[in-house]
Amino acid sequence: MASKPNAIVAQSGGPTTVINASACGVIQQAMKSGKIGKVIGAINGILGVLKEDLFDISAEKPETIEALKQTPAAAIGSCRYKLKSLEESKADFQRVLDVFKAQNIRYFFYAGGNDSMDTADKVNKLAAEAGYELVCMGIPKTVDNDLAYTDHCPGYPSVAKYVATCAAEAGKDTEALYTTDTCTILEVMGRNAGWIAAATGLAARSPEDAPHLVYMPEAAFSFDKLVGDVREVLGRLGRVFIVAGEGLKDKNGKYVTADSGAFAKDSFGHIQLGGVAEMLKAVIEKEVGIKARFNKLGTNQRAAMHFASATDVREAYMCGKMAVTYALKGVNGKMVTLVRAKGRDYKCSTGLAELRDVANGEKKVPRDFINDKGNHITKAMRDYLRPLVQGQAKITVGKDGVPEFMRFKRKPLNKKLPNYL
Amino acid sequence: MASKPNAIVAQSGGPTTVINASACGVIQQAMKSGKIGKVIGAINGILGVLKEDLFDISAEKPETIEALKQTPAAAIGSCRYKLKSLEESKADFQRVLDVFKAQNIRYFFYAGGNDSMDTADKVNKLAAEAGYELVCMGIPKTVDNDLAYTDHCPGYPSVAKYVATCAAEAGKDTEALYTTDTCTILEVMGRNAGWIAAATGLAARSPEDAPHLVYMPEAAFSFDKLVGDVREVLGRLGRVFIVAGEGLKDKNGKYVTADSGAFAKDSFGHIQLGGVAEMLKAVIEKEVGIKARFNKLGTNQRAAMHFASATDVREAYMCGKMAVTYALKGVNGKMVTLVRAKGRDYKCSTGLAELRDVANGEKKVPRDFINDKGNHITKAMRDYLRPLVQGQAKITVGKDGVPEFMRFKRKPLNKKLPNYL
């Protein structure tokens, strides 16, 4: 009797607080389905597939798998290795299929953003052409919340809750010490979409509350505008708390950090995003003549399990679980989406979108979520966000007062193919 | 009949998560003592005293006062205005006394660090010389944990718990994405003392766990050493997570950021601490040839009420409460200290230290709390820290998923003196 087909789970791109919850949903649902042999983890995403660096997740302890729900980042390992078109990355795509065949993998669950959905779509096409029976399912993941066809992306609600809390807290600090530290800039992630910056607006319940200014890549930014905005808030409150998305752009859509010496490039010559806070600080100190300081949460914002959204963890798990449920029902080539029910009470279920549509789509903050001045959010944004950040995710705090996270043992699968990469 | 004497509460210097809990202890204890008239808040610390910018805290709603325990930063307002010697700042000191007399203030409760204890001590001396009956009590406050004569400082346990958690979480992120982002640097506060950096070491429960390297100002730092340390960890794990206190110094005790162009000075020409992460990133990328990124928590670390230590909140409240209790028993010119009982179980009570001793003291991380290589902590540090970070402080989360904080109405007291400053 032929053994049951195996399933592979891979995580891709920048980690989130809940991508492990999605993995947990896939693993637990696959293991209890009775229709799947091993659940295999691809160490460091598609790199693990290419290198045949795989491990048997189903051999891990059940409590380790359960603890995925309480562990941030990507426990199976992630990477930023990008496969291009089927022609340009032909050898890579063929290798993926060869590894799947060698390991009897018939289900491919891939959690990631646009690029990952693109990869999953192309692997799926190649398998179909080759007559290899394979089901490819995408699971949405990105703190940036910029995937189309889904109401929101797992990972976003948690970063939203955390950065809004950070803005409220650091805002209190600025309010307390404004006679010295008059301006604070909180830099948050978001290269092309301002969803994370927008989320901090939730903390501004009154005009006195931080943040007073929220800059998102979707609204054209200029330093003249910044200086004017800062002066206006200073005149009113004597202090100013600013949130800046890392990818602010001018009216021509050019990154404002791209042309500025020290901030422009990283050591590899790439344009280095994330220098926006330093730049705003320098401009405000010079032009407005007040002391400014900045907080840059960096990867801490996308890893803040200790104050993650319980709603997010639940929905991320649901996405993983439903990916398996759909796959076993014969669905193929789709990404699971989150669908918000119409009506006053928040209800969220799952739907499906074509992998290739998601790969080609992008969802920015709608214009009506941003105020007319382009420096804060509107009620529409608040209404969108509020249900997503409800509840605090469960964590386990150790005897040392610090949260405890799991780590897989990663029992390696025997390699069946020659080395690659 | 003469009205009861009033008490004034002031907060000074960089805010903490729990300085408001100390204020709450003072206010509630003073109000229920029956021996004190108004409890007066000095808006923005000593500046509020000098300007006679005062408000009647006892007129605030009891629930607002109670909510101080859940609100970070300094709700009465803080400042960095420094009084020098009695000779140099003679007019200021005289003004403080004049305001106290005009407002019938006989109790001065001052929460702050060394400088604040110095100020309180001098005000006390001047009052004695002038024959003005005044009780001056200090309440310890600093995230830096560098006050002498106290086992630890309220504010430190919360920042410790938070930065250790941040290191654990961002460490998981680096572990997940090390194939691209191989090195992460977490910059934390601490100009002269490495207590905050040291606290992150708590997260490293196993050699695989972040942080792998912890640099504190107490251990001489060099970039050669850094490069060697980074290479060692990379060889072992393929990734490296580094914590750097902002005030790293070389073997001559000179700040490593002081001599380095863009990082050296802020817009006012002061040496700008806090650029250490950028500098480490640049050196590691150039010398080791791996990508490095940095997280700079900034004021968020000292305002992180959402994951504060319950032990810290309780002890901070106790310090404020005991300051009043001692004052009403006739104690004067002292700072309340925290005294850890000997023995296996953690017990903490309060003691007293001379204001002038605290003003002149400083407590750095002891050498035996730092490992021989000067790049991590020892068991002694863990043992010291563990009891302090126990429990999560109570917070109230709003319907919008974000913690709610109080704000005083600040009903101003009538000014009785001419303007000053």
Task: Please give the share of chain A, as a percent, with pLDDT higher than 70.
Answer: 95
Q: Which of residues 148-207 of A touch B (CB under 8 A)?
A: 161, 164-166, 168-170, 172-177, 179-181, 184, 186, 202-203, 205
* CA B285 to chain CA centroid, nearest Å: 33
- CA dihedral over B141, B143, B148, B150, signed as positive or negative: positive
Determine the average pLDDT of the residues in B227-236. Answer: 98
The pLDDT-based confidence of A257 (bands split at 50, 70, 90) is confident
Determine the average pLDDT of the residues in B256-284. Answer: 65
Determine the average pLDDT of the residues in A91-112. Answer: 98
pTM of full prediction above 0.95: yes
Nearest to A78 among B79, B176, B388 (CB): B176
Q: Which residues contact A235 (CB under 8 A, 6 or more apart)?
A: none
Interface test with B, best of A161, A165, A283 (most B CBs within 10 A): A165
The DSSP annotation for B92-160 comes to: HHHHHHHHHHHTTEEEEEEEESHHHHHHHHHHHHHHHHHT---EEEEEE--TT---TTSSS-TTHHHHH
Closest CA to B389 of B346, B349, B351, B342: B346
Q: Is the pLDDT of residue B269 over 80?
A: no
Closest chain B CA to residue A76 = B176
Distances (CA, A) of B269 to A227, A288, B273: 21, 16, 12
Nearest to A300 among B79, B169, B179 (CB): B169
Greater confidence, B2 or B139?
B139
The three-point CA angle A146-A150-A151 to 5° equals 90
* Contact residues on chain A for B18, CB-CB shorter than 8 A: none
Query: For residues A45 and A96, is the Cβ–Cβ distance under 8 A?
Result: no
The pLDDT-based confidence of A261 (bands split at 50, 70, 90) is very low
Give me the pLDDT at residue B68, please.
98
Determine the average pLDDT of the residues in B401-409. Answer: 98
Q: How far apart are CA B319 and CA B336, in angstroms?
A: 6
* Three-state DSSP string of A180-218: CCCEEEEEECCCCCCHHHHHHHHHCCCCCCCCCEEECCC
Coil, helix or strand at residue B214? strand
Residues A151-181 pLDDT 10s: 999 999 999 999 999 999 999 999 999 999 9
Q: How far apart are CA A284 and CA A273, in angstroms?
A: 19
Inspect the interface and report whether the beta carbons of B390 and A382 lie closer than 8 Å: no
Determine the average pLDDT of the residues in A96-112. Answer: 98
Give me the pLDDT at residue B2, please.
64
Q: Does A252 contact chain B (CB < 8 Å)?
A: no
DSSP secondary structure letter of residue B88: T
Task: Please give the share of chain B, as a percent, with pLDDT higher than 90.
Answer: 93
Give me the pLDDT at residue B267, please.
43
Which tokens is B96 given?
């403080």
Q: How far apart are CA B167 and CA B146, in angstroms?
A: 22
Residue B85 CB neighbours (<10 A): 10
Q: Is the pLDDT of residue A273 over 70?
A: no
For chain B, give the mean pLDDT.
Answer: 95
Give me the pLDDT at residue A172, please.
98
Q: Which of B53, B92, B121, B144 is catalytic?
A: B144
Inspect the interface and report whether the beta carbons of B299 and A164 lie closer than 8 Å: no
Closest chain B CA to residue A382 = B400
Task: Please give the share of chain A, as a percent, with pLDDT higher than 90.
Answer: 93
Residues A352-395 pLDDT 10s: 999 999 999 999 999 999 999 999 999 999 999 999 999 999 99
Backbone angles phi, psi at A222, to 5 degrees: -145, 155
Question: Kind and range of the H or E element at A44?
Answer: none
Distances (CA, A) of A118 to A13, A122, A125, A309, A350: 13, 6, 11, 28, 20
Nearest to B180 among A80, A293, A398 (CB): A80
- Kindly report the length of chain B: 421
- Kindly report the length of chain A: 421
Active site residue B250: no
Q: Does B295 contact chain A (CB < 8 Å)?
A: yes
Q: Which residues of A180-206 are buried (b: 16+ CB within 10 A; e: fewer)?
A: bbbbbbbbbbbebbbbbbbbbbbbbee
For chain A, give the mean pLDDT.
Answer: 95
Which tokens is B218 given?
């107490």
The pLDDT-based confidence of B3 (bands split at 50, 70, 90) is confident
Q: Is the pLDDT of residue A265 over 80?
A: no
How far is B121 from chain A, CA to nearest CA, in Å?
23
Q: Does A401 contact chain B (CB < 8 Å)?
A: yes
Q: Is the pLDDT of residue B116 over 60?
A: yes
**Which is it for strands B334-340 and B348-354: parallel, antiparallel or unpaired?**
antiparallel
Q: Is the pLDDT of residue B364 over 80?
A: yes
Q: Which of residues 205-244 of B touch A (CB under 8 A)?
A: 205, 208
Coil, helix or strand at residue B377? strand
Give me the pLDDT at residue B259, please.
57
Residues B296-322 pLDDT 10s: 999 999 999 999 999 999 999 999 999
Q: Is the pLDDT of residue A259 over 80?
A: no
Q: Which of residues 94-153 of A touch B (CB under 8 A)?
A: none
- CA dihedral over B167, B307, B298, B47, signed as positive or negative: negative
